[in-house]
Structure 1
Amino acid sequence: MSSNQHFVVMGGGLGAAKLAEALRANDFDGRVTVLAAEEELPYERPPLSKQHLAGTQQLPDFTVDQGSWYRDHHIDLRLGTMATAFDPRAHTVTLPDGSTLSYDKLALATGSRPRNLPIPGAAAPNVYTLRTIGDSDVLAEVLRENRKLVIIGAGWIGLEVAAQARARDVDVTVLEAAQLPLLGALGPEMGRFYADLHRAHGVDLRTGTQVAEIRTEDGIATGVRLADGTEIPAQAVLVAVGAQPNVESALAAGLAVNGGVLVDAALRTSDPDVVAVGDIAEQEHPVLNRPVRVEHWATALNQPAVAARTMLGKPASYDRLPYFFSDQYDVGMEYTGYVGRDDDVRVVVRGDQAEREFVAFWLDQRDRVVAGMNVNVWDVTERIKALILSGEPVDPQRLADPDTPL
């Protein structure tokens, strides 16, 4: 492609860094500008609630590329520069100072932000969220200094932080509006598994609860009051009620947006000169044959290679199955596949849940495997993936039998 072309990436996380890498790997010799809101070099986020919070990894351990890589590959990385808008007709991006930057192709990798909790007391200084390295640093200090933590939300972030807090012998109460943790992500069977896991480690997990307010004294949070009047004391509160995709600039620019920015199999948006990757990309998945938006590390890691080819006018299709992982206490898991919230599925388990060593499979009404989760069982992801991609019905009894090879 012509060295006169200018490609701009809005975003500064893993997806943005991998997009810059992929453009150079595909021999694009034009200008590449990456606009990163944070002051740090692009980094991976999973360690923020895991290894970094535990103190076993520091930022350089999960920084994607060092500054020298951007210089050596002539990437104009602008830290602390969050693009405020873009104009598809003019092919310009607006910078914080009001100036504009022209582009030939644009990649949106704007990620997501923690959802707010619109209740009294949520703005107190000892009420926290977790999204950035700064958030993780602050939270690590909170866990060292405080003995009573209330976590609002029993999703992945809330539960992973709960596990880290219990490792420091912090008293942890987790409040969840649904009847089980991770209900939307995993369904009731595996939701019960994680509920039992956390209660076994001393977490006061309360489900089916509605939080009315965060109680404060002199502006500092001192506890949480539930809708039924119950009060739970706290020295710190973590709000972990999900993420909000940063799609405002795409919406204002007139791109097609639903829950996320709508993209085709090639990750192309409704504007042919704009692609989207990561948390914000709601893709018409060519294998699953449905719109899919996945807010997990593997998406930001793998989608950019396809998006880069699309920007370069090369044939490309993102057909990887969704994948994510979580580490809580002595339980590690990997999940492959996709189950919608309203899908009619059943769960078949191979192994021993009591021993926390098993594989769970989600089967549709035709007994086809649509997702699988291995818990403390390793090196089976490719076999789970093969079962899903085969599209063939399986015998549930044989699937549940550990002596039957997958």
Structure 2
Amino acid sequence: MNNGVVIIGAGHGGVQAAASLREEGYEGRVTLIGDEAELPYHKPPLSKSFIKDSGAKPQILRAEAFYAAGSIDLLLGETVESLDPVGKQLKLVSGGSVSFDKVILATGSRPRVLPVEGGPLAGMLSLRSIADARAIRALAGEVEDIVILGGGFIGLEIAATLSAGGRRVTVVEAQQRLLARAVAPVVSAHVAARLAASGVRLLLNTVVNRIEGDDGHVSAVITSAGERIPAKMLIVGIGVVPNAELAAAAGIQTANGVRVDAQLRTSAPDILAIGDAASYRHWFTGADVRLESVQNATDHARLAARTITGHADTYSAVPWFWSDIGDMKLQMVGLTGGSDRQIVAGEPADNRFSVFHYSGPRLIGIESVNRPADHMLGRKMMGAGFSPDTQSVAGGSDALKAAFTDWQTRQPAPV
């Protein structure tokens, strides 16, 4: 056990895994490999503050001194070409090799490619890395007509940011509502109304059939309705694909990502997977999921470190997410796919409300718009297993807190 742990991927999950290994008392070698030359950085600001401020710099996850102080070998600008679970060695594209005792795959995901006639052309961009954000920021300073393909969180965050900067922004979404896979219809409608009021044009139930170019640069998109929309920049945000190819080529089981058990081990026991790339049976829903969030990546990372250091914990974190779209802070807790009843608390007209999702009597999720107290209380309630009744929800934050406190006092003391 002298080759230590190699972490492949230097995003939020990879960096947290390195930190957590040291926090858990792991004394072996820790190597963190990232395919970008940048010091690991926060990704959420890329779709907001970074692209609107020409002087903005990356917000690093940890200072460079952290890696030195923790004896973490940082290999940046390196890509892993192959992984040998039996020989316990990985090869780098640069020609080198690294031996390991354990591997944590924190390989993340990549933007889905647009399968449409006319591409690719200059000016067609996606956002996943700081290089992408720099390209969007630079081009946005030169053009006025921008089309964003995809009405998910990233696309809408960018749309709100660029529209506020004076650009003419059109969002083209194939579904009948925005954020259709993520939030309740009342939240979708609210987001759509506020974006439209801010100047963003929304085309729902619409797809792009063709892209037109001029001298190799995108100039317009042709929609399924036959409309030609000028576009000097086309941002594609139609979802992501898990980076599971490295694992699959090594004979590790994959299915919508790298399959892991409740302790994040893959089918090769000395190799773990975390974050966007990991697919697993979720403790809360009993369904197979692959979650794309900073929270999921960092909580996975902490558990992976505990698994490697000999603990028997299983994954039991309550999932939560957030998104800043214009003047709307969306915060979500839980997984609402099995919701059969919703209760709205607050007033959408005030741009402050929450939607409580139930499956039968069980609270399974809360979506909040500019109601952070509901979100934070919701995380505590769901973590404890408490489901408030309708009257408590309708009574507002004070009634919810009182109901939760009363419930806690009635729980049996731990043995």
For Structure 1 versus Structure 2, the TM-score category normalised by the shorter chain is over 0.9
- Mapped to 1, the partners of 2:212 and 2:38 lie a distance apart of 34
TM-score (norm 2): 0.91
Q: Retained in 2: the 8 A contact 1:143–1:168?
A: no
- Mapped to 2, the partners of 1:387 and 1:272 lie a distance apart of 34
The yes-or-no answer on 1:371 pairing with 2:368 is: no
The yes-or-no answer on 1:109 pairing with 2:103 is: no
TM-score (norm 1): 0.93
The yes-or-no answer on 1:358 pairing with 2:353 is: yes
2:210 alignment partner in structure 1:
213
Shift of residue 18 of structure 1? Answer: 0.9
Shift of residue 56 of structure 1? Answer: 9.0
Counterpart selection for 1:97 from 90, 94, 103: 94
Q: Retained in 1: the 8 A contact 2:52–2:165?
A: no
1:42 alignment partner in structure 2:
40
Shift of residue 246 of structure 1? Answer: 0.3
Shift of residue 167 of structure 1? Answer: 0.9
- 1:7-406 correspondence runs (5 A): 7-55=5-53, 58-60=56-58, 62-340=59-337, 343-364=338-359, 366-389=360-383, 391=385, 394-402=388-396, 405-406=399-400
- Mapped to 2, the partners of 1:145 and 1:347 lie a distance apart of 44
Q: Retained in 2: the 8 A contact 1:51–1:57?
A: no
Q: Retained in 2: the 8 A contact 1:223–1:232?
A: yes
Q: Retained in 1: the 8 A contact 2:329–2:369?
A: yes
> Are the structure 2 counterparts of residues 41 and 188 from structure 1 closer, same or farther at C-alpha, using a change threshold of 3 Å?
same
What amino acid is the match of 2:210?
E
SS at match of 2:141: helix
Alpha carbon RMSD of aligned pairs, Å? 1.9
Q: Retained in 2: the 8 A contact 1:357–1:375?
A: yes
> Are the structure 2 counterparts of residues 74 and 221 from structure 1 closer, same or farther at C-alpha, using a change threshold of 3 Å?
same
- Mapped to 2, the partners of 1:99 and 1:362 lie a distance apart of 51
> Once the two structures are aligned, what percentage of the paired residues are identical?
36
> Are the structure 2 counterparts of residues 86 and 356 from structure 1 closer, same or farther at C-alpha, using a change threshold of 3 Å?
same
Q: Retained in 1: the 8 A contact 2:114–2:236?
A: yes
Moved more, 282-291 or 298-307: 282-291
- Mapped to 2, the partners of 1:315 and 1:284 lie a distance apart of 17
Shift of residue 121 of structure 1? Answer: 2.8
What amino acid is the match of 1:379?
A
Q: Retained in 2: the 8 A contact 1:119–1:214?
A: yes
- Mapped to 2, the partners of 1:310 and 1:11 lie a distance apart of 18
- Mapped to 2, the partners of 1:287 and 1:363 lie a distance apart of 13
- Mapped to 2, the partners of 1:137 and 1:369 lie a distance apart of 41
SS at match of 2:183: helix
- Mapped to 1, the partners of 2:55 and 2:370 lie a distance apart of 22
Shift of residue 286 of structure 1? Answer: 2.9
Moved more, 310-319 or 348-357: 310-319
Deviations 1:133-181 (A, max 9, x none): 1111121222222111100001011000000011111111000000001
- Mapped to 1, the partners of 2:219 and 2:16 lie a distance apart of 42
What amino acid is the match of 2:373?
D
- Mapped to 1, the partners of 2:396 and 2:27 lie a distance apart of 52
Q: Retained in 1: the 8 A contact 2:339–2:357?
A: no
- Mapped to 2, the partners of 1:234 and 1:99 lie a distance apart of 43
SS at match of 1:113: strand
- Mapped to 2, the partners of 1:122 and 1:129 lie a distance apart of 13
What amino acid is the match of 2:49?
Q
Moved more, 41-50 or 296-305: 296-305
Q: Retained in 2: the 8 A contact 1:150–1:236?
A: yes
Q: Retained in 1: the 8 A contact 2:344–2:355?
A: yes
Shift of residue 38 of structure 1? Answer: 0.4
- Mapped to 1, the partners of 2:87 and 2:133 lie a distance apart of 39
- Mapped to 2, the partners of 1:232 and 1:98 lie a distance apart of 46
Q: Retained in 1: the 8 A contact 2:164–2:198?
A: no
Shift of residue 383 of structure 1? Answer: 2.0
Q: Retained in 2: the 8 A contact 1:39–1:79?
A: yes
Shift of residue 398 of structure 1? Answer: 4.1
Moved more, 376-385 or 20-29: 376-385
Structure 1: 5+ residue stretches without partners: none
SS at match of 1:40: coil
- Mapped to 1, the partners of 2:348 and 2:51 lie a distance apart of 27
